Amino acid sequence: MHLAPASLLDADAGDARKISVAQVLVYELRVRDAMSKPPITAAPTDSLRTIQELMKSRRISGVPITREGSLMGIISIEDIINALDRGYINDPAEAHMARNVIGLRDHYSLLRAVAEFDRHEFGRFPVLDSSDRLVGIITRGDITTCLMQHLERRAEEAIAQEATLRASRVADEAADRVVVRAHVRTGDYDSAGKVSQRMRQVLRERGVPPEIRRRAAVVAYEAETNIIIHSLGGEIIATIDPDKVIIEAIDVGPGIESVDQAMQEGWSTAGRLPRELGFGAGMGLPNIKRCSDALDITSDGQKGTRLRSEICIRKPGATP
């Protein structure tokens, strides 16, 4: 019995410039991963007739002949045809088996196995472990089936991994976003600054520079007091993302008669009580505008006012 020499395979393994998944698998997978096991064997004393029945019932075309696990020879379907032809089908296997059998080690790569099939033009190889025990049989069909199964598994793994990545990215984005929102009641001067306070806390924890924290806080505070002083109630929402803070103030009206006028410093429609408390200086919207990187205000008498301010967060040292 011979084992295929390694030197024969170097030529086939040579060109590794373009490597597909299948090629990687051919390197990675071993003969033991693809072989049929346990092998269907016969004893040296079994008749060729018995082996013929075995081939028919198990739908195989070659049977290794073993004694106590050691490979003695092999009977192929050609040997059976010859036996039938020449009339010795009842002889024992040991009388006609091929004795110089070429086997493959179970640890060989499939690449090497393919090269052996090309070289020897056999339909199958017996597979031996490192103690020369017969552990399986391998055919080209086994290699193809094994590769197909692994390609399919790799594809499924890749899809699953991509899905996991996508899910974790969505989770990360969701985790990075903090939304602080509160219902704001008209005339509730004592509650002014609640959203602003919580937002400042989040920004501080995130290490946002103080100057940006203050700007966001002024916008939230002024927007909140605007709802308290001027509207019939509304909501303030601060959405804190890693790169920006969006402050939205939505009230149910009455709207601002003239946004242009309200944007002028000192122009105020606040009543006596808020003015006594130090509100209504006519500086709310100008303050918001000065502190925002982007500002959008829409207002009408029926639907109230929607204010949306954006403050960019630039980390210290980062170029804007």
Of the pair 108, 279, the CB lying nearest other proteins is at 279
Contact 233, 227 (CB under 8 A): yes
Which stretch in 77-85, 137-145, 180-188, 277-285 sits in contact with other proteins by CB under 8 A? 277-285
Which stretch in 61-69, 80-88, 161-169, 213-221 sits in contact with other proteins by CB under 8 A? 213-221
Of the pair 101, 218, the CB lying nearest other proteins is at 218
CB of 205 to other proteins, least distance (A): 15
Q: Which of 122, 185, 282, 314 binds other proteins (CB under 8 A)?
A: 282
Q: Which of 30, 124, 200, 230 binds other proteins (CB under 8 A)?
A: 200
CB of 278 to other proteins, least distance (A): 4
CB of 249 to other proteins, least distance (A): 15
Binding of residue 243 to other proteins (CB under 8 A): no
Binding of residue 286 to other proteins (CB under 8 A): yes
CB of 174 to other proteins, least distance (A): 28
Q: Which of 212, 217, 295, 307 binds other proteins (CB under 8 A)?
A: 217
Binding of residue 283 to other proteins (CB under 8 A): yes
Half-sphere exposure of 40 (CA within 13 A, CB side): 17
Q: What does the block give as tokens for 249?
A: 């103030």
User: What's at 300, amino acid-wise?
Assistant: D
CB of 153 to other proteins, least distance (A): 58
CB of 299 to other proteins, least distance (A): 19
CA angle at 282 for the pair 281 and 283, rounded to the nearest 5°: 90
Q: Which of 108, 117, 125, 221 binds other proteins (CB under 8 A)?
A: 221
- Those residues with Cβ within 8 angstroms of residue 173's Cβ, 6 or more apart along the chain or in another chain: none
Q: Which of 254, 277, 293, 310 binds other proteins (CB under 8 A)?
A: 277
Question: Which one-letter DSSP state was computed for residue 42?
Answer: B
Binding of residue 192 to other proteins (CB under 8 A): yes
Binding of residue 143 to other proteins (CB under 8 A): no
Contact 113, 97 (CB under 8 A): no
Of the pair 103, 280, the CB lying nearest other proteins is at 280
Contact 302, 251 (CB under 8 A): no
Number of residues binding to other proteins, judged by CB under 8 A? 24
Tell me which H or E stretch contains 63.
strand 62-67
d(CA 133, CA 135): 6
Q: How many C-beta atoms surround the C-beta of residue 292 within 10 A?
A: 21
CB of 257 to other proteins, least distance (A): 19
Of 56, 46, 138, 60, nearest in space to 96 by CA: 46
Which stretch in 186-194, 254-262, 293-301, 310-318 sits in contact with other proteins by CB under 8 A? 186-194
Which phi and psi (to 5°) does residue 172 adopt? -60, -45
d(CA 34, CA 151): 13
Residue the block writes with tokens 């105020």: 268
Of 262, 314, 250, nearest in space to 289 by CA: 262
CB of 266 to other proteins, least distance (A): 10
Is the Cα dihedral 52, 56, 61, 65 positive or negative?
negative
Contact 281, 233 (CB under 8 A): no
List interacting residues with other proteins (CB under 8 A).
Answer: 189-190, 192-193, 196-197, 200, 210, 214, 217-218, 221-222, 225, 277-279, 281-284, 286-287, 290
